[in-house]
Amino acid sequence: MSSVALVFPGQGSQYRGMCKDIVESVPFAKKIFNQVSEYFEIDLFNSCTNESEENLASTYIAQPSIFIHSIILDKILKNNKIKINAVAGHSLGEYSALVSSGVLSFNDCLKILKIRCKEMQLANINHKGSMLAIINEDIKLIEKICSKFSNTVIANINSYNQIIISGPINEINKSIEMFKNNNIKKIIKLNVSGAFHSPLMEEANLSLNKAINLVNFNDTEIPVYQNISSIKNFKGEEIKNNLSKQLTGSVLWYQTILNMEKDGITDIIEVGPKKILSKLIQKITSNIKVKSIDNLQDLINNGFKIIK
């Protein structure tokens, strides 16, 4: 018997034209775009369809756009009466997971997310940062190189050999040479606008936690796997506490998928733009079947009906 988890992508998965075909085919999708656009005081559908990739990558546009995309698809899956046995999200995607599982209401999530975007964008301006993907399984060596700097840390453990580091641009640039000198050649700069999940986000996290503490976190019957703990959780207060540490903590994605596998998850559906998480999961384990739902054709190909 299958046991299905939904996973939700984070910032960096945005692309020009995302969600356009779904908005044109699903009436409630445009309503969600309009609601979030009004709250964020920006035409997010126009941003998704007409903005340059560079503008779309800005935190204040990318995060709500990805969130909307994921929530619309999640609603379509729920309309198809799909049984969900667990949820998780990568960084920003954790917020989509909390809405999907009922831990946060949609409106309460928007309140937190707007603060998160504003404060992260401000932190990006005040502290110029960057992130690198290091393709190498020697995490001890990566930790050792990060320790040479004051504010550069491991931000994400995405798979056994994909480690993301985050820090000030000057430190990140110096680290590239150090990685190359240690025979690590595959290094990729990420399409993000700051040093997420690093000490450079500490000021942003203070304001974010005030917003988190003002809303209600419900207990859930659907287990939530969070970034900084990676084990299943059902308790709203514990989930709130973990979320309050997420912005400056590491995303333990590799451990999350291994724990899902151990807990009996057999199928994972990635819900949102691109297939970044699906590819990571396939690298982590061959024992879980993975699907990616990004657009209208993906829904049709996987047998889901567009219930209007």
- Which residues does 177 contact at the CB level (< 8 Å), separation at least 6? none
- DSSP-assigned letter for residue 153: E
Distance CA 192, CA 124 (A): 10
Distance CA 227, CA 242 (A): 8
Distance CA 154, CA 260 (A): 22
User: Catalytic positions, please?
Assistant: 91, 197
Distance CA 26, CA 6 (A): 21
- DSSP-assigned letter for residue 251: B
Assign residue 290 a region: left if phi > 0, alpha if psi is -120 to 50, beta otherwise? beta
Block residue for tokens 């297939």: 275
The burial of 214, by beta-carbon neighbours within 10 Å (0-12 exposed, 13-18 middle, 19 or more buried), is given as exposed
Distance CA 162, CA 254 (A): 9
